[in-house]
Structure 1
Amino acid sequence: MTINPPDLCRRRGDYGIDGDFRVIPARWQAMIAAAIVAALIALTVRNIAAGAVVGAVVTGSLTLGLVLFQGSYLYTTRVGKFEVWSRLLTDLRLRGDEQVLDLGCGRGALLLMAAELLPRGRAVGIDLWLADQTGNSPEAARRNAEREGVAERVELETGDITQLPFADNTFDLIVSNLVLHNIPSPADRRAAIDEAVRVLRPGGRLAIADLMATNGYRARLHELGLTDVRRRNLGWRMWWGCPLFPTRLVTATKKI
């Protein structure tokens, strides 16, 4: 029996901002971006006052482009990804008793959306809790699980997705959002795909969204014998600043 899903876009938790903050903290990055925009605005005003039409057009266009880029990025990380994954999870027509694994769960954005669809199931998140998201930590994920009212059906693990600490054929569904590209080695990304397939039950489904290397994920899933392997662009709601940085989804099913 399928369940009538809740409104997954209505979130109560705090899921931070996605990005690479290992070298430059998020606050500094925001200050730098704001300073660049302010400088471009000032230069545009100066060009207008001086009658430098071409210069005003150039600096004005750069300002507008940067503002739109930042706006698109913030929309995706704060709104767009929830809208997209809400639709994706709903379309899976879960029964509600599945075992679901989120690879690189972070603060729980995707993990807890899945957990809301599992009144009789379990959602497991695994992460190394690196600085690829503001405030990323198991404590933040647990707080969000409490706020969303799904703490009793959520488990968190600290671990490497290239060496999953789970038995073969454990999960009915494996999901991941913008995680595998953080693994620098192609061999290790391939190992993460192999591990996901290992712990996926026969008949289980896989849905991995990422910024790059998704053609490689698709090819590896074909090699491993999965069926209905597909790859598609998730559209403007998951552009990271502009159409040049889209998110693509790879889905597949493990043979029974």
Structure 2
Amino acid sequence: MLGDTSSGTTTAPSPRRRGDYGVDGDFETVSPRGQLVVVGAIVAALAALTAVLATVADAPAFAVIPGILAVALVLGVTSYIHTTRVGKFVVWSRVLGDLQLRGDEEVLDLGCGRGALLTMVAELLPNGRAVGIDLWHADQTGNSPEATLRNAALEGVADRVEVRTGDVTRLPFDDDSFDLVISNLVLHNIPSAAARQAAIDEAVRVLRPGGRIVIGDLMHTKHYRARLLELGLTDLSRRDLGWHMWWGAPFFPTRLVTGWYRR
């Protein structure tokens, strides 16, 4: 049973990654480089306005406003880049290490993307298997099953990683297939509340008795927790993952929902 800490390992996967996991975000309309150019132009315009207002006799006090906005925008972008390139690995290393896996579990990663979370959990499964499923949308740069498998090879876990193309609201797996279901920043991309609930229901359906669900997301985490409670999960918790997973500011934190399926 998952969580039998008497035989589990407390070793966390390394947050230092060899693979290339891209940048998280919505890039379907505007590329990451295009978005960065736009932000740079706005910062430059605010800085220029600050300089102009500072030279006007009656306007120095007003120069503070665009100056503060420019600094806030730079700090927000810096926070975002830190989270997507460094912070999420630091946080999930701790989260996965705290699970104290035995090493022979079968794990499902909902919306695995390029395998950031998938390869980390695979490090803890020398005798297990990590399966990632995704639709490979452009909410991450270079998102594809080939990129995920390349990263698995670079991390030395290709022999225990599998990727599938599929919808998390209609999982192509039998009931009771996995010991652990994990997900990071995926379910909020599902547009309707009914579909998000279907994804939660599917996650529980494929979970074995004694298994655990661990979901990190930006929004709707109260609803996830409530639905998991309705479905019979116990030891439910919901917590903020801290500044390493702020997506630009404290106003956009990531929260973690966890629970046991003790049926």
Q: Tell me which interval the TM-score lies in, with the shorter structure as reference length.
A: over 0.9
Q: How far apart are 1:6 and its partner, in Å?
A: 5.5
Matches for 1:50-61 after TM superposition, within 5 Å: 50-51=56-57, 52-61=59-68
CA distance in 2, matches of 1:140, 1:45: 45
Equivalent residue number for residue 206 of structure 2? 199
> What's the TM-score, normalizing by structure 2?
0.95
Q: How far apart are 1:152 and its partner, in Å?
A: 0.7
**2:14 maps to 1:8:** yes
CA distance in 2, matches of 1:98, 1:107: 21
Equivalent residue number for residue 142 of structure 1? 149
**Quick one: which of 42, 45, 48 aligns to 1:39?**
45
Aligned length: 256
**Quick one: which of 221, 227, 233 aligns to 1:220?**
227
Q: How far apart are 1:237 and its partner, in Å?
A: 1.1
CA distance in 2, matches of 1:5, 1:79: 19
CA distance in 1, matches of 2:77, 2:109: 27
**Quick one: which of 66, 84, 89 aligns to 2:73?**
66
**2:20 maps to 1:20:** no
Equivalent residue number for residue 86 of structure 1? 93
Unaligned residue ranges in structure 1 (runs of 5+): none
Contact kept, 8 Å, 2:13 with 2:96, in 1: the verdict is no
CA distance in 2, matches of 1:8, 1:105: 18
What amino acid sits opposite 2:129 in the alignment?
R
- Secondary structure, in 3 states, of the residue corresponding to 2:39? helix
Q: How far apart are 1:81 and its partner, in Å?
A: 0.7
Q: How far apart are 1:2 and its partner, in Å?
A: 2.4
CA-to-aligned-CA distance 1:109-137 (integer Å, 9 cap, x gap): 00000001111100000000001111111
CA distance in 1, matches of 2:183, 2:61: 46
* 129-138 or 45-54: bigger deviation: 45-54
Percent identical across equivalent pairs? 66
CA-to-aligned-CA distance 1:22-42 (integer Å, 9 cap, x gap): 121211111101111111112
Q: How far apart are 1:235 and its partner, in Å?
A: 1.2
CA distance in 1, matches of 2:21, 2:43: 26
Unaligned residue ranges in structure 2 (runs of 5+): 1-6
- Secondary structure, in 3 states, of the residue corresponding to 1:156? strand
Q: How far apart are 1:243 and its partner, in Å?
A: 1.1
Q: How far apart are 1:10 and its partner, in Å?
A: 1.0
**2:170 maps to 1:163:** yes
> What's the TM-score, normalizing by structure 1?
0.97
What amino acid sits opposite 1:185 in the alignment?
S
CA-to-aligned-CA distance 1:36-85 (integer Å, 9 cap, x gap): 11111122222223353122211110111101111111111111111110
CA-to-aligned-CA distance 1:147-172 (integer Å, 9 cap, x gap): 10101100000000000011111111
CA distance in 2, matches of 1:10, 1:193: 30
What amino acid sits opposite 2:260 in the alignment?
T
Equivalent residue number for residue 29 of structure 1? 35
What's the Cα RMSD here? 1.1
What amino acid sits opposite 1:132 in the alignment?
D
What amino acid sits opposite 2:108 in the alignment?
L
CA distance in 1, matches of 2:12, 2:171: 30
Q: How far apart are 1:4 and its partner, in Å?
A: 5.4
CA distance in 2, matches of 1:77, 1:18: 6
Contact kept, 8 Å, 2:114 with 2:143, in 1: the verdict is yes
Equivalent residue number for residue 111 of structure 1? 118
Structure 1 segments of 4 or more deviating over 4 A?
none
